[in-house]
Chain A
Amino acid sequence: MSVDVTAEAAVAAETAATRITRIRPTRSALGIDLRELWAYHELLFFLVWRDIKVKYKQTAIGIVWAVIQPLMAMILFSVIFGHLAKIKPEQRDIPYPLFVFAGLLPWTYFSASLTMSSTSLVGNANLITKVYFPRLIIPLASIFSPLIDFFFAFMVLIGLFAWYGRAPDWHAVAIPAFLGVALLTAFGVGLWLSSLNVRYRDIPYAIPFLTQLWLYATPVIYPVSMIPRDWRWLIALNPMTGVVEAFRWSVLGSGVPHYAVFGVSSLVGLCLTASGLWYFRRTERHFADII
């Protein structure tokens, strides 16, 4: 943490015109005060920073976990699905471990975000009942902190490429866009689950089950091409299908991207976020009373 920051600018900004805080009962669940959200961007930063810092201070091997988890899953899946069940990627020249690891990367990020965000509001109950800030900051922070794990796991992917004597495709420059959809989906589902969890504490019990089912409903261990053509629309409704497929295309350069699949997935992710925001706004005002 660097402390040597010059302060004159801040002092000037502080003594701006008198602010008026208006307190009224909320009538509508629509609309998000983006200006206010921006005013609290430093808090967002500090919460993300806290989550990352605390996570790695409390663990003995720290950041290694970010690498071990997808690596072990990759080995397990490669043995069971690649070796025993003989699942083959669409492009026969791509080794299965590389194929599955490229899928596991966005997936691991997504499931970690989901788990973090679903309990984020309840986990920060002490803040919610004692201090005001836009509550949206909390689930928002929880989808950013797993990005650091993603980053380290990505280093492993690069290592894996080197191991197989390959280079990532130039399409990899598009990764941020695909990751953006994963973020959006995690945020949308996280908004629903975290606000539901304030009232119904059943959510943490449902999460491991949900992520497990969702993993198998997402083409992580198998390619979309294995799904009969008539049923592909169904799997495309899962926003993570588009993300995983597009991610794989961008690093492995496998074939043509499934534009339609990615389009549908993005749209579903957007709907999840919009409805999640609506539900969050609707229930937000009672958080401090019932949490």
Chain B
Amino acid sequence: MAGLAIRVEGLSKSYQLGQRRGYDTLRDSVAAAAGSLFHGRRGESHRKTIWALDDVSFDVQAGEVLGVIGRNGAGKTTLLKILSRITEPTRGLADIHGRLGSLLEVGTGFHPELTGRENIFLNGAILGMTRVEIARKFDDIVEFAGVAEFIDTPVKRYSSGMYVRLAFSVAAHLEPEVLLVDEVLAVGDAEFQKRCLGKMQEIGKSGRTVLFVSHSMPTVTRLCDRVIMLEKGAIVADGPAIDVVSRYLTSDEGTQSARRWDDLESAPGNDLVRLTSVGIVNRSGEAVESIDVRQPVGVEISFTVLKEGEPFRPQIMVVNEQGVHAFNAMDTDPRWRQSTAPGEHVSTAWIPANLLNEGLMMITVFLSTLASGRTVQHVLERDVVAFQVVDPVEGDSAKGDHSGQWYGGVRPKLDWDVR
């Protein structure tokens, strides 16, 4: 099958600020209506409009695997929701040729009281499969999920791993001509993720069209032929995966887990001190992009002191991708009390295991002098590196067997004293 699979033209979506926060109460609306009666203006006229998606146009050929990347709030999810017909565009149009399947999460509509078998049928119907179709694929679904012996057990008794496997398995057996996928692969244990990726690759190779939204650059490069990058609701790059991904990683909008400045002259800092590299390392000192929540992670900061005379104290700030400030930490080593010797210095901040929450963590690095009541900041590199914290949900992290979202800037594992 050749030809156009997706055509998007001038697609835009606006939200009224304040509307997005969710429901109103009847009282608010009555009050607003009454207010407008007396003041002669509409209650919502002072509401601000923001464009989550702003005049986006692109075509996808049949059989193409297109990646969509961008920082949080860039409009990726809005685009996906419009193409999946969950929400309507404010302006513009999109045409999708062929049977459409969308996966914004796995296990949509799963009910804990129903058995695995019942949930396969329910979830399949929700995803748009017919009853006969589900019946035909039933054995494959069960086999892929590896839950055959629990198929008549209510899914509330499943371990979170089994639950996710079953949910993904139903989704994986959806056979659309055009598939829209959100980051549903970031679930389950490493072994299962590998199988999911394999399945995705298989779908891509079978000539079906895939639109894949992701944060994971390695996955995007591996799966996609072409990538578009969104920024503030607009397309800023469109091209071969490698090109766009590397542009994303080097741009300010991008995130990377290691940065190095080889040219001392242009490195961040001043003529007293320059930052030379920042990297994320695991316990064995290897550079990593993501870390298991149950493992400690190091932020390795290298800097070169050019002139003697001042003490330079490294400091980090950790902010998650929602912009929530998790914490600041200062290197308290006594050596930073005296003036620092010229030359290369390396200090690694160890963030303990089971402290951070899941998701993308962005690190800001400071080098400052704190002496006799004055603070001088020599280096302040905002969001210089970032890394993913991953929780495989095996029950031994702070969220136990809970597989859903977990709120908070940090997620320490506490000692629970049970009597």
Contacts and interface: CB of A to CB of B under 8 A. Distances in A.
Partners in one complex: yes
A14 B15 contact: no
B105 A25 contact: no
B19 A290 contact: yes
B126 A4 contact: no
Contact of A132 (B92, B93, B102): B102
Interface string B81-114: 1111111111111111111101011001101011
A23 B118 CA distance: 32
Contacts, number: 142
Interface stretch (B20-28, B65-73, B347-355, B411-419): B20-28
Interface of B: 15, 19-20, 22-27, 29, 81-100, 102, 104-105, 108-109, 111, 113-114, 117-118, 121-122, 125-128, 130-133, 135-136, 138, 154, 175, 177
A129 B114 contact: no
Contact of A199 (B23, B105, B121, B177): B23
Contacts of B117: 1, 3
Contacts of A132: 84-86, 102
A285 B88 contact: yes
A10 B95 contact: no
A26 B82 CA distance: 13
B85 A23 contact: yes
Given A3-B135, A131-B127, A200-B25, A53 B88 contact: no
Contact of B125 (A24, A46, A129): A46
A202 B26 contact: yes
Given A19-B98, A200-B26, A7 B125 contact: no
3 closest A-B pairs (Cβ-Cβ)?
A7-B136, A10-B132, A132-B85
Interface in A1-35: 1, 3-7, 9-11, 13-14, 18-26
B118 A21 contact: no
A288 B19 contact: no
A150 B161 CA distance: 40
Nearest to A10: B132
Contacts of B98: 18-19
Given A10-B132, A23-B89, A202-B25, A126 B109 contact: yes
Contacts of A9: 132
B111 A54 contact: yes
A57 B94 CA distance: 43
Give the interface residue-count category, chain A: 35 or more
A130 B84 CA distance: 9
B23 A290 contact: yes
B71 to A, nearest CB: 21
Contact of A20 (B89, B97, B104, B135): B97
B86 A20 contact: no
Interface in A242-291: 285, 288-291
Given A7-B135, A7-B136, A288 B23 contact: no
Given A132-B85, A285-B88, A46 B121 contact: yes
Given A126-B109, A130-B104, A4 B84 contact: no
B126 A127 contact: yes
Interface of A: 1, 3-7, 9-11, 13-14, 18-26, 42-43, 45-46, 49-50, 53-54, 57-58, 126-133, 198-202, 285, 288-291
A79 B117 CA distance: 48
Contacts of B138: 3
Contact of A290 (B22, B25, B122): B22
A6 B133 CA distance: 9
Contacts of A57: 113-114, 154
Residue among A26, A45, A200, A291 with the most chain B CB within 10 A? A200
A43 to B, nearest CB: 5
B131 A198 contact: no
Nearest to B84: A132
Contacts of B25: 200-202
25 contacts: A13-B130, A18-B97, A19-B97, A19-B98, A21-B95, A23-B82, A24-B89, A25-B91, A42-B125, A43-B125, A46-B126, A49-B122, A127-B108, A130-B86, A130-B104, A131-B102, A131-B104, A201-B25, A202-B25, A202-B26, A202-B27, A288-B81, A289-B19, A290-B23, A291-B22
B108 A1 contact: no
Contacts of B83: 23
A129 B135 contact: no
Interface centre among A132, A198, A285 (most CB of B within 10 A): A132
Contacts of A26: 88
